[in-house]
Amino acid sequence: MNILLLSMPDSFEHMPTVAIRMPNGALVSLAGNVDPHHNVAVADLILCQDRVRETVTRLVKEHKPDVVGMSVMTFQRRTAARIADLVKTLKPDTKIVAGGYDPSLAFEDYTALPVDFIVRGEGEVTFRELLRALENKSSLHFIAGLSHRENDRWVHNTNRAIHRLEDNEIRLPNRKARVLSGYTIMGRQADVIETSRGCTFDCSFCSIIEMRGRNFHTYSFDRVIADIRDARDHGAETIFLVDDNITLDVHRFEGFCNAIIEAGLNKIDYFVQGMTSAIANHGETLAPLMHKAGFRYVFLGIENILESDLTFLKASSKNTARDKGKKVGNATLKAIDYLHKNHMFVVGGLIVGSPDDTLESIEANMEFAKKYVDWPYIQHPTPYPRTPMTKDFRDQGLIANEQLHEYDGTTAVVRTKHLSADQIEYLRWKGERGIKTKHILPVIVHDPWFVLRNGRKMMKHTYRGSTWRNVLGLESDRKAFSRYKEIRRQEREYL
């Protein structure tokens, strides 16, 4: 059969495509795990945001897919429905499969969309078994993790057990299946790999534990090193590790760093997400090893600098520093210090807009980011399907926006007891621009030609909505913010 796998074009505010265009790792993993006689094409539509309709039309005509698979997040649901409509118009007999976090956690909502199947949870084996059943015209009822139409109703099969990655059931990704190009981070060709899946913490904002439960499974280092080599052989100069929580097992992470060095793969730039507590408590030995292995940027899940907000977010334990087994306060500053001393940059993951937040508490977090982090990744709490946070906000009547296409993390869709959603988003928008600008010098040093070619576009993106009148103080920041909001609204219209 001919298979076309699509990721949606909708992108995060903090990852402008002029600077960052990362592939969807799930799609090439699916491509690597179907039976080899299928013809599989993978297309990340983030690479063609200005020509989505034309690209999808061309791909359908060229590949004549029997099955189209779509990876969807909550804020991409509207776009996914439009793409499904387009595919059905172009080739009505195509079967459409939706998968990813949003279809897994809100599968009931997808039964009203123009899709034929929903893959819930990890998709590699479920999707492979679905293709076999379609090919052989056999029963769908025994495929765990699958929802499917049957006459005028939907049938939701039993859940699929979480994959134990140690058993090698999940094969390596198939990067050859990609039919679009241009994955970059700051002009350098980029790719993604994973070394583990899962997390054992219970942060209230996180979809991972709702989708997988609280667990942690790992690939062997041999497999991971082979995956990195494959990404490098396909041109990757920068690799983002997409693990849910790679620093959950610090000793394993140290072993992974050593494996990279021993394999001679430490000339690649690595980006990783890490817990502040793990880096603070082990940074004296871990941070130098990370630097030697090639790690350049570390996304720290700081979440918030106020203990009251960390309590609401259920993120206190992963941000706690310890000395001889005793809690000795917040780990954030210690972790940042270790990373900076070892020549790594900190992407500061902060969340502002929890129920009790005030103007002062949000400004305190913004000031912290300005002082200590190199690149801010500041988000607003967002009521994603089935997360504990969603119930908390709904019970308190604080959800102000039910437009799911705006659930992108940087559009404030909930209010606090003291501030409107609009006020919260304005505070983040206003404070964040200057923090991003200060990081331009390290980027110039590392990627001078990219900055020369794209610096103006990057600044234009960062300061969308602003004019010279605004910069000179001749008009209010509020007017610039209103223009920014309208620009964002227009940018979401991909079809």
Where residue 72 falls (left for φ over 0; alpha for ψ -120 to 50; beta otherwise) is beta
Cβ-contact 192, 23 below 8 angstroms: yes
Cβ-contact 154, 145 below 8 angstroms: no
91-95: average pLDDT: 98
User: Binning pLDDT at 50, 70 and 90, where does residue 434 land?
Assistant: confident
CA 400 – CA 413 distance, rounded (Å): 5
Whole-model pTM: value is 0.94
Per cent of the chain over pLDDT 90 is 84
**Mean pLDDT for the chain?**
94
Cβ-contact 381, 351 below 8 angstroms: yes
Chain CA centroid to CA 66, Å: 28
CA 174 – CA 177 distance, rounded (Å): 6
Residue 444 has pLDDT above 60, yes or no: yes
Q: Which helix (H) or strand (E) holds 40?
A: strand 39-44
106-125: average pLDDT: 96
Token couple for 368: 């912290």
Of the listed ranges 37-51, 381-395, 414-428, 432-446, the least confidently predicted one is 432-446
pLDDT in tens, 462-481: 999 999 888 888 899 999 99
Per cent of the chain over pLDDT 70 is 97
More confident residue, 33 or 471: 33
Cβ-contact 401, 421 below 8 angstroms: yes
pLDDT in tens, 251-306: 999 999 999 999 999 999 999 999 999 999 999 999 999 999 999 999 999 988 88
How many CB atoms lie under 10 A from the CB of residue 144?
Answer: 14
pLDDT in tens, 388-423: 999 999 999 999 999 999 999 999 999 999 999 999
Determine the pLDDT at residue 326. 55
Cβ-contact 304, 315 below 8 angstroms: yes
pLDDT in tens, 206-227: 888 888 889 999 999 999 999 9
State the architecture of 2-165 in CATH terms: 3-Layer(aba) Sandwich (3.40)
CA 359 – CA 440 distance, rounded (Å): 28
CA 344 – CA 290 distance, rounded (Å): 9
DSSP 407-424: -SSSS--B--SSS-HHHH
| DSSP at 439 | T
User: Binning pLDDT at 50, 70 and 90, where does residue 177 land?
Assistant: very high
State the architecture of 183-463 in CATH terms: Alpha-Beta Horseshoe (3.80)
Determine the pLDDT at residue 31. 98
381-391: average pLDDT: 93
Residues forming beta bridges with residue 70, ordered by sequence position: 6, 98
Domains 2-165 and 183-463 alike in fold: no
**CA-atom Rg of the chain in angstroms:** 22
Residue 495 has pLDDT above 90, yes or no: no
pLDDT in tens, 296-339: 999 999 988 888 878 887 777 667 666 655 554 578 999 999 99
* Residues contacting residue 233 through CB under 8 Å, at least 6 positions apart: none
Cβ-contact 239, 175 below 8 angstroms: no
Angle at alpha carbon of residue 233, lines to 227 and 238, rounded to 5°? 75
340-366: average pLDDT: 95
What are the extents of the domains in the chain? 2-165, 183-463
More confident residue, 148 or 312: 148
The amino acid that residue 147 corresponds to is S
pLDDT in tens, 128-139: 999 999 999 999
CA 96 – CA 88 distance, rounded (Å): 8
Chain CA centroid to CA 191, Å: 13
